Amino acid sequence: MYAQMVTTDAVKSAGEMSPEERAFQERIDRGERIEPKEWMPDAYRKTLIRQIGQHAHSEIVGQLPEGNWITRAPTLERKAILLAKVQDEAGHGLYLYSAAETLGVSRDELLEKLHTGRMKYSSIFNYPTLNWADIGAVGWLVDGAAIMNQVPLQKTSYGPYSRAMVRICKEESFHQRQGYDIMMKMSFGTPEQKAMAQDALNRFWYPSLMMFGPSDKDSVHSAQSMAWKIKINTNDELRQKFVDQTVPQAEYLGLTVPDEHLKWNEEKGGYDYSQPDWDEFFDVLAGNGPCNKERLGARVKAWEDGAWFRDALTAHAEKTARRRAASRVAAE
């Protein structure tokens, strides 16, 4: 499953490219968008299917840790907000599956790969949401990290992906804000509530840093993806921006980022911070996180439970097509 991580994707020099590949790279370098029916290198198509597919799966699996709390939200207002957020995530998954389909892969194929463990989804969703403060931490940190990663993707080179990201980013901003609002309520509440908020930050800080992917030296796809402008920034660049943005937000809440080495570095104009435990990250990717089995099990069950509905839709479409064909023959 992790064979793709053994080697780094080699970026071809102009001399090694075919004339078609060179012309393609020149279009990318000029900042042109690539559209579905246009020529593209096979590896560009495959990289996009991998990234957009994994992104779509993350949105869908990402509904689970929060969906779990809809019935237990503390007020009617919080319930309505959370419900809207979780529905947005479903919508993001659908835009992204549609964007992936323009590359010649079907949604069924992508889902089959997810269900059989041949495609990934974001590591973050393999961590549990134990209490209401965790829902605040997810919105604040997880959606905050998602925005940091996804705002640059609005400028990604593949047209359908970049256009999907525009709408997704608008919605993610509301998600991040609602999470921070929960954190404010908890942090400025009773000592017990503040302790819950601190505990949620303690548990979600490092998994959120992992969302940006392995450090640049271990990122197998970054160099080629950046040459093709599929990715606009490296994993470490975005992680640094996230830390710099989030630390003052934690300070405002009166919470402590669980990193004793966290320190403002005047020279670089950013914080020095501790790396997450990368062994834990790769272990979660290998299927051994606290919730991997539960999350995948829930998705497979949802797929199987929905089989009767998909069958009914297909049967209806076939029946309608047969009727139309019969009435055409009768009219001739």
Q: Site residues (CB under 6 A) for ligand BYC?
A: 4-5, 50-51, 54-55, 58-59, 62, 89, 120, 122-123, 142-143, 146, 149, 210-214, 219-222, 225, 231, 235, 285
CA dist., res. 48 & res. 50, Å (int): 5
CB 1 to ligand BYC: min, Å: 7
CB 18 to ligand BYC: min, Å: 24
Q: Which CB sits closer to ligand BYC, 221 or 299?
A: 221
Residues in the chain: 332
Q: What is the DSSP string of 9-29?
A: PPPPPGGGS-HHHHHHHHHHH
Q: State the SS3 of 192-228.
A: HHHHHHHHHHHHHHHHHHHCCCCCHHHCCCHHHHHHC
CB 320 to ligand BYC: min, Å: 35
Residue nearest to ligand BYC (CB): 62
Residue with token string 């548990």: 203
CB 15 to ligand BYC: min, Å: 25
CB 183 to ligand BYC: min, Å: 15
Rg of the Cα atoms in the chain? 22
CA dist., res. 156 & res. 32, Å (int): 10
Q: Which CB sits closer to ligand BYC, 57 or 271?
A: 57
Tokens of 161: 């992906």
Q: What angle do CA 60, 64, 69 make, to 5 degrees?
A: 140
Q: Which CB sits closer to ligand BYC, 25 or 175?
A: 175
Q: Which CB sits closer to ligand BYC, 174 or 303?
A: 174
Q: Which CB sits closer to ligand BYC, 142 or 196?
A: 142
Q: Which long-range contacts (CB under 8 A, 24 or more apart) does 93-96 make?
A: 93/56, 93/57, 93/59, 93/60, 95/164, 95/167, 95/168, 96/52, 96/53, 96/55, 96/56, 96/59, 96/161, 96/164, 96/168
CA dist., res. 94 & res. 102, Å (int): 13
CB 167 to ligand BYC: min, Å: 14
Q: Which CB sits closer to ligand BYC, 30 or 217?
A: 217
Q: Which CB sits closer to ligand BYC, 194 or 274?
A: 274
CB 29 to ligand BYC: min, Å: 19
